[in-house]
Amino acid sequence: MPPPKAYNNYAFLNSDSARAIRILCEYEEPRDRFQRLGVDHTVVLFGSARALPGEVAALRASQAREEAARAARSEDRARAEEALARAEARVRLSRYYDDARVLARRLTRWSLDRPQGAPRYLVCSGGGPGVMEAANRGAADVEGGSSVGLGISLPFEERINQYATEALSFEFHYFFMRKYWFVSLAKALVAFPGGFGTFDELAEGLTLRQTGKAARSVPLVLYGSEYWQRVLDLDLMVEWGLISPEDLDLVHASDTVDEAFEYLVGRLEAQEREAVDASDEARAERRNG
């Protein structure tokens, strides 16, 4: 029996020596799939994986209150009260699951209703639960709607949610390759309240835009002022001289789906006009050159 060819040698392909090959695969395979499926414009929605739909969060909070009442005079009281506090926090967070779903639905409907030949924008998420699920779910609510799910393999999180379009669902091993695909096709980004993962993605987007590695004109919405004003004090960064005053223009705050939708659509359409104007100018320069 002949020895395996290198590209069929899975022991080698999963070894430290083949890390560069695996990284390249996480670039080339998504690139090939996006090109074949004609995906080159996305609107990325990201936020907490812990957010629940409003009705689910409310039901769990109700159950937690009943459990806390039963445990009021028992040794389990502290545990039950802690569980109730977590459940009530999830109710507050659930608003952002519901809003992300509605925003994704409206963006998908708007994109599908655009005139023939106009760019199509697909909602893109991290493919997991919470706000990510809500984004894919909102797109799936629309007949004919598709969405991208850029998942990451984690030991404590479920795989790609059921609402991401199967042909556009990915599972990455390397966070940095996943973030590359978040930003590479993004024409807009929307950050909902979230934890360390959301901060990581938000910081990456802001850094790339601030430094010109990604276009500064790409809108980035911070959705939920109640949360973002407390955890991201950009005015303090300006006060300390850590960022420039004009860097404040890199973000736009929104608190309602209507406002976020109108802002995003306005900015996306403005980007298209700017691209057409730049193309016309380039052609004129070539003719006159």
Cα angle value 112/113/116 (rounded, 5°) = 90
More confident residue, 75 or 253: 253
Q: For 185-242, what is each residue's pLDDT tens digit?
A: 999 999 999 999 999 999 999 999 999 988 778 999 999 999 999 999 999 999 999 9
Across the range 97-101, mean pLDDT stands at 98
Domain span holding position 117: 29-54+95-288
Confidence of residue 161 (pLDDT cuts 50, 70, 90): very high
How confident is the model at residue 157, as a pLDDT?
66
Cα–Cα distance between 274 and 192 in angstroms, integer? 28
Instruction: With H, G, I as helix, E, B as strand and everything else as coil, classify residue 127.
Output: coil
Q: Is residue 11 part of a domain?
A: no
- Short-list 141, 138, 132, 159, CA closest to 50: 132
* pLDDT reading at 48 higher than 80: yes
Confidence of residue 98 (pLDDT cuts 50, 70, 90): very high
Q: Is residue 1 part of a domain?
A: no
What CATH number has the domain bearing residue 108? 3.40.50.450
Q: Is residue 264 part of a domain?
A: yes
Q: Is residue 111 part of a domain?
A: yes
Give the dihedral sign, CA 104/259/188/203. Answer: negative
Cα–Cα distance between 76 and 97 in angstroms, integer? 31
The tally of domains found in the chain comes to: 1
Q: Is residue 61 part of a domain?
A: no
| pTM for the model | 0.92
Q: Is residue 278 part of a domain?
A: yes
Cα–Cα distance between 57 and 131 in angstroms, integer? 13
Q: Is residue 184 part of a domain?
A: yes
Q: Is residue 12 part of a domain?
A: no
